[in-house]
Amino acid sequence: MKLFSFAAAVCLPVFLFLCSSAFAQDAPERRTIPELTLKERIEDLLDAVEDESPEIYRRINELSREDALARIMRALDSGVVPASSTEAKSPDVQFRESDFRKYPVFGVTERAIPYVRLDLLSASTVSQSVRELEKMAGESAPAGVIVDLRETAAGDDAGVKTLSKAVGKLKCPVMALVSGRTFGKGELLAAVLRRDRGALLLGTETAGNIFPLKRIVVNDVKWFVPDPPAEYYDISPYAIKPDLEKQSDVRLSFDELKEKPNKLDGDPVLRLAADLLILKAAVRPVEQSPAQ
């Protein structure tokens, strides 16, 4: 055998092997399988249901397209709803601050529990309440604080954040009063107080228009789509259910309440909130006796 032929016969296979993907630095170690899209996952699930339970698949298939999609959106806690099933209005309505009264913070009951009433949550309208709460925070810790949002229906994000921060400085239990007239930014503040301050919500279910809504049309069907800021991703866009439900349409006027801050019987929801805070403050952990 000639020398050239021998070299080619030995070196060429070795050269081709060394140039293969096994020695390529940037070659993937294994083939990557792309993740299934949401649409593919739903299709796979429906196919499996059709194979394993034809009766259930028939029930699903009998739903109207709008009803089926609405149920899926509800299950996903998305807040997307058909326009035909709601009279939803965007909570970002125009408002004039001059139309809303600014209420001072004062103490109710003999325990002087700070009572905060706000019908408008804007940076300027909450400033007075914030100053008064910060002053109270520098004094002895109160038994709790009550934030009355039963008529709160307008405002802005700055007002929500500012008031929530001021309430947190008191370092005491928080009660937020809500009703079907708690709307938009009022609902958002209730949800933020519950999430960030551990507030207990008392009253009735809120209006259910917590975030700004966009109207869209898909296949001739109109939908409302909530548009929450990223910082509120974990807050449900649906109506807020209180932790303790208390039905009452009676609410003391602010002037009457301020004149007689110890007489709360005319406002059952406020009376219950104050009683619960006083009871909580009265309960102390039982100290264990030292081991003998």
Q: Domain holding 245: CATH number?
A: 3.90.226.10
Q: How confident is the model at residue 93 (pLDDT cuts 50, 70, 90)?
A: low
- Which amino acid, 193? L
Higher pLDDT, residue 99 or 155 = 155
Q: What average pLDDT does range 226-253 have in this prediction? A: 90
Work out the mean pLDDT of the chain and round it to a whole number: 82
Q: What percent of the chain has pLDDT over 90?
A: 30
In a domain, 266, yes or no: yes
In a domain, 27, yes or no: no
Q: What average pLDDT does range 281-290 have in this prediction? A: 63
Q: Is the same domain home to 54 and 112?
A: no
Q: Is the same domain home to 125 and 252?
A: yes
pLDDT above 50 (res 98): yes
In a domain, 24, yes or no: no
pLDDT digits (tens, 9 = 90+) for 135-175: 887 777 788 999 999 999 888 888 999 999 999 988 899 99
Q: How many CB atoms lie within 10 A of CB 281?
A: 16
Q: What average pLDDT does range 193-203 have in this prediction? A: 95
**Domain tally, the chain:** 2
Q: Is the same domain home to 155 and 51?
A: no
Q: Is the same domain home to 175 and 251?
A: yes
pLDDT digits (tens, 9 = 90+) for 27-79: 555 666 678 888 888 888 888 988 999 898 898 888 888 888 888 888 888 88
Q: Is the same domain home to 62 and 196?
A: no
260-271 in b/e form (b: 16+ CB < 10 A) is: ebeebeebebbb
Beta strands in 34-87 (DSSP E): 81-82
Q: Is the same domain home to 115 and 167?
A: yes
pLDDT of residue 18: 47
Q: What percent of the chain has pLDDT over 70?
A: 82
In a domain, 197, yes or no: yes
Q: Is the dihedral of CA 229, 207, 217, 60 positive or negative?
A: positive
In a domain, 41, yes or no: no
In a domain, 82, yes or no: no
Q: Is the same domain home to 57 and 102?
A: no
Residues 6+ apart with CB under 8 A from 261: 106, 107, 108, 109, 115
Higher pLDDT, residue 283 or 117 = 117
What is the C-alpha separation between 74 and 68, in angstroms, rounded?
10
Q: Is the same domain home to 107 and 243?
A: yes
What is the C-alpha separation between 129 and 98, in angstroms, rounded?
17
Q: What average pLDDT does range 188-212 have in this prediction? A: 94
User: pTM here?
Assistant: 0.77
In a domain, 107, yes or no: yes
Domain that holds residue 55: 46-76
pLDDT of residue 4: 44
Higher pLDDT, residue 10 or 51 = 51
pLDDT digits (tens, 9 = 90+) for 169-197: 888 999 999 999 999 999 999 999 999 99
In a domain, 9, yes or no: no
Q: Is the same domain home to 66 and 137?
A: no
pLDDT of residue 14: 46
Q: Is the same domain home to 55 and 122?
A: no
Q: Is the same domain home to 144 and 178?
A: yes
What is the DSSP secondary structure assignment for residue 208, as one 8-state letter?
S
pLDDT of residue 268: 94
Q: Is the same domain home to 132 and 266?
A: yes
